[in-house]
Structure 1
Amino acid sequence: MVNIRNLDPSASPLDYYGSELRRLREEAGLNQPQLGKILFCTASLIGQIETAKKVPTREFSERLDAALMTSGSFSRLVGLVLRSQLPTCFQAYAEMEARATYLSTYQAQLVYGLLQTEEYARAVLGVENPGRLDEMVAARMDRQRILGREHPPVLCVVLDEAVLHRQIGSAEVMRNQLAHLLGFRDHPWVQVQILPFEVGQHPGLLGSFTLLRFDEDPDIFYTESYDSGHMTAHSQVIRERSVSYARLQASALSREDSAALIERVTRERYGHQPGPAVA
């Protein structure tokens, strides 16, 4: 049965997407089964998206633009839809992350989101969000599109060695994740360094943090607590945390030695030498 639930297009990006899909489908004189046939999907999927019960993917949006000749409208809109699936406290940061020209982050517990594989992200997000897992994983993967832009941001990442040893998901998930990190070793705009255990006390002991720099706007410092994030552009905070990050980079292994440690941990802890990975 066709679902005719009315949507308020102003309620959310997902509701707006669904209402626009219905409006343009009807203008094209197509019912849900007919459009589904064109898009190689079920009429049920069309109905779920039109009623904001399911989040569209970027691939679906690109096919939809081609089918309805909408000049890329849905491909542009889906980015807002996916971002709206991120935790509310994180959405403002994600917007800043997408605009930044330079990102420098220290991560004490997990691989930074922009460098996570889909399987690793699924294992992380599935701990507390099993009911919305597909949507949240899609949103996290969509964040990574900024690394593939014509002019991507510079991304410097310092990972605590604990990140390599903490098994997230299965051993295979970890092998693939660490191989993915190795794929960035020669990337022109991404630098991954490992802060080894032997460093002892260091400026990152208070927790993970990220510094964002922009072409025209003030720098931003971002950190998270258990259920909220905090951003500030206070000049003294930026000054202090920039020095902290410089010290972390100086204490971390070089790019080459970091790659060697990742390879060794993969081999000794997760089963075998990682194969080549393409970032």
Structure 2
Amino acid sequence: MSKKPKTSHTPRKRFGQNFLQDDGVIARIADAVHPLPGEHLVEIGPGQGALTKALISPDLRLDVIELDRDLVSGLLAAFSIFPHFKLHSADALDFDFAALAADGVPLRVVGNLPYNISTPLIFRLLEFAPHIQDMHFMLQREVVNRLAAQPGTKHWGRLGIMAQYHCEVEHLFDVPPEAFFPPPRVQSAIVRLTPHAGSPWPACDTRALRQVVQSAFAQRRKTLRNNLKGILDDAALESLGLDPGARAETLSLEDFIALANHLSRGTD
């Protein structure tokens, strides 16, 4: 049986709220993050503050971003006693994370992300990868499978390719529905994303990579020849050792980077 919420706040479907209630799971997440004195944490969607409480300390800078204004007063009441705590009543999808890292201290981002915005939010955070030390997220397990996917599998696609281009991806552990209130109808998992300290592919044009990947997976069942029509022709694909009749899911990350580099050189 799922636990009842620790406050009178009613979880809202429009915000995708499923509040983490299991103390054992909270402790495992905090242990995985393992914040150290002087670090700068950013928590997205703190909700009722269950994970916030496990992470915060007087010698740690912690910014939290909460969209639901009805939760703001409770969070301020609980955590304003900490000198380096700051709450932003804002939408994480529009938030300028680079502004938080203006002092040069890299961000450590954590959050129990609402499932209805998790994918676009991850794409947005990848844009700020140079300012981020690591990210620990609670996500729908299917999303974690996509992030950690390998070529040739049904989960391999745009999300995994772009995430792995920017970060090392680690599926840490699964979390059952009964750890939340209300319990979601899906399995959840914790993932760690660690941006590469130095890009393994420094010659790649990231904008070209996004364009190629988005086009290649526009219709999964179609071939590269069809999906990349107007961007890269058969001769370009064959020059890179790729079969124009293949599907995008068979290509490796390195293959997509080679395509992006070829496209970038052709448009210079």
TM range (shorter): under 0.3
Q: Which has the higher helix share?
A: 1
What TM-score comes out, normalization by structure 1 length?
0.27
Report which of the two has the higher share of strand.
2
